Structure 1
């Protein structure tokens, strides 16, 4: 159980100069979150991500606080309302997925192996939880969200371009195809009784990845899904 604190920032303990003014008072200093406050924040976001996947974004905040091991007051101190918590979860998922993509590019010599590694890693990051959270009333143009989305898009674009240039990825698929399939294959229905869903995720993702490899075994109907097209429909 995390320890509750009355404040989430370090306090100024600079010595008094004898004049009633602290030695560093003339120097502006940004307040830094306390280490335990940062840990609590991370625990809340992690618990929220898990519970949004399991039960949807309307899960009671009290239950999220309970799973995170913090009190309700701590949760509301970090996230005054559900909308702000949802946004931070979305940003966290995007950020972690982008980091996984960049790591795959840097560490895998074979471009398709890098793509495969990212897809499985993104499933572990619960990227499939994003779609149900992007509901009406969610600020999809928030600067923090736009920045992380751009970083994720760039990383996935790079993965797919590299695999395509190497002749390992079929030419008739686009980034949107990958993200739609990844979302659908990694997200159980909210409240589903299928408690063992996770055991099938990586198995089915591997079947999907086999279908992405070149040479293509069949022609795909329709047109490739692009980032722009997905954003217009969202």
Structure 2
């Protein structure tokens, strides 16, 4: 894909993430096109339905999570610093990770690409968590699913700029990281299982 086309595609994904998070699936594609600075027809040529566009927003987030997890493990010698860096980078301004998007139709079937990346995300985060737990730095009752669902809790839709939202995410992530330390009091309730996490990730009831 040419550089200009990639840039337009990235702009559409960013715009779609913002519009659907703000207005749900009822939002018109014209709003996405306006924010992205492209024509409506060009969006429909690339993404024939809103469901497919929302899936691509999630795929873009998966790819970023994977890149950040791989970089954190490769470049940080300390497992706690690797986990902390990973979470901070995923919450940085403009990342879009954790953005709460609308539910898709129950009959919508996610692509093989989506499912493959979803599984890769789970495996990489599990490794980061296990590394930090083996080092005695992360509490033993935290599961990899907890880390991923924290992204949703830390990135609510707020009526302010993305810059300010990113500042607030960083602030509250600092509090969360202190609670993840190994000496913390026992957590109440069980961690999400893999099936529950997948359903929540898909924005569907299990």
Q: TM-score, normalised by structure 1?
A: 0.76
Higher RCO (Cα < 8 Å, 6 or more apart):
2
Uncovered stretches (5+) of structure 1, i.e. residues with no partner:
1-32
1:61 aligns with 2:29: yes
Q: CA deviation at 1:55?
A: 3.9
1:172 aligns with 2:172: no
Q: CA deviation at 1:34?
A: 4.0
Residue-pair matches, total: 197
Q: Secondary structure at the match of 2:101?
A: helix
Compared CA separation, residues 35 and 138, structure 1 to 2 (3 A): farther
Q: Runs of at least 4 residues of structure 1 off by over 4 A?
A: none
Q: TM-score, normalised by structure 2?
A: 0.85
Compared CA separation, residues 40 and 178, structure 1 to 2 (3 A): same
Of 136, 140, 147 in structure 1, the residue corresponding to residue 116 of structure 2 is 147
Higher alpha-carbon Rg: 1
Higher helix fraction (1 or 2): 2
The answer on whether the counterparts of 1:115 and 1:160 sit within 8 Å (CA) in structure 2 is yes
The residue number in structure 2 matching 1:226 is 193
The answer on whether the counterparts of 1:173 and 1:225 sit within 8 Å (CA) in structure 2 is no
Distance 1:205 1:75 in 2: 35
Residues 13-162 of structure 1: matches in 2 within 5 Å? Answer: 33-124=1-92, 125-129=95-99, 131-137=100-106, 139=108, 141-162=110-131
Which one is further off, 203-212 or 141-150? 141-150
Uncovered stretches (5+) of structure 2, i.e. residues with no partner:
200-204
The answer on whether the counterparts of 1:134 and 1:140 sit within 8 Å (CA) in structure 2 is no
